[in-house]
Structure 1
Amino acid sequence: MDLNQLGKEVLKAQPFSQYLGMELLSAGEEGVELALKVRPEFYQHLGVVHGGVIAALMDNALTFAGGLVLGPEVLTVEFKLNFLRPAKGERLLARSKVVQAGKRLAVVQGEIYSEEPEPRLVALGQGTIAKV
């Protein structure tokens, strides 16, 4: 089975990710790309995407990238998220890649862009992913 197909099956098995509407665009040696269509209920009171939505997208992006090298049975041990600017627009795009991996742990970095009319970097993240 190829990595894209495996990733799509794993994403389909996650009720929370399905509820949010996450979509796996690609998974391969170069990393992972996930997308999320922004719905009105994702906004907070200032009219920008809530940080919890961005954090959920980053968590999945990091974990999926870690799963590319550790296998599909992985969990996030920890992650850090820097919000760079408010996210607006119709869709968020997450890109992530493994920085270093061993037998049981992988350190992964990610970026999230909002497609406003043109893509803008809105968040950076780094996390540790563990094989279970």
Structure 2
Amino acid sequence: MDLKALAQTVLERQPFNRLLGMELLEAQPGSVAFRLPLKEAFYQHLGAVHGGVVATLLDNALTYAAGSLLGPGVLTVEFKVNFLKPGKGEALLARGYAVSQGKRLAVARSEVYALEGGAETLVALGQGTILRISG
């Protein structure tokens, strides 16, 4: 099975992710990476990327990393976010990693970095529980 092709198909079937312009960079068993080019519409009034955009990236990275082990029919049942620094720059990079997997549940963690001038700045951390609902 081509995991990256499957993840790309799932991504393309999600209207919200298409609206944002999220790009899948890699998908391997237990890990995933996304890139989101930044647009003016993603910023809040203080000049940083809105927390909802960052949280969406964290959630997707968690879910896709866990889904690479549990199967494509998964949902996030809970997740926690730690915002560390303001997100600014050309793009955001999200990386997700499965930490523990059972038959129906997996725990995953994720990181979001701001990309600017070739540098990566850690913006947020996430951890969540993912549930297999089908497949």
Shorter chain as normaliser: what TM range? over 0.9
Partners of 1:111 and 1:29 in 2: how far apart?
Answer: 17
Q: What corresponds to 1:119 in structure 2?
A: 120
Number of equivalent positions: 132
**What aligned pairs does 1:1-132 form with structure 2 within 5 A after superposition?**
1-29=1-29, 31-117=31-117, 118-132=119-133
Identity among equivalent positions (%) equals 59
Per the alignment, in what secondary structure is the counterpart of residue 46 of structure 1?
Answer: coil
Give the aligned residue type for 2:113. Answer: Y
Per the alignment, in what secondary structure is the counterpart of residue 8 of structure 1?
Answer: helix
Cα shift at 1:29: 2.7
- What do residues 67-87 of structure 1 show as CA deviations (whole Å, max 9, x unaligned)? 011000000000000000000
Q: 1:56 to 1:114 in 2, by over 3 A?
A: same
**Any conservation in 1 of the 2:94–2:113 contact (CA below 8 Å)?**
yes
Give the aligned residue type for 2:96. Answer: S
Partners of 1:131 and 1:65 in 2: how far apart?
Answer: 12
Partners of 1:30 and 1:45 in 2: how far apart?
Answer: 36
Give the TM-score normalised by the residue count of structure 2. Answer: 0.96
Unmatched 5+ residue regions in structure 2? none
Query: What's the Cα RMSD here?
Result: 0.8
Cα shift at 1:116: 1.9
Give the aligned residue type for 2:56. Answer: A
Give the TM-score normalised by the residue count of structure 1. Answer: 0.98
Cα shift at 1:30: 5.3
Runs of 4 or more consecutive aligned structure 1 residues displaced over 2 Å after TM superposition: none
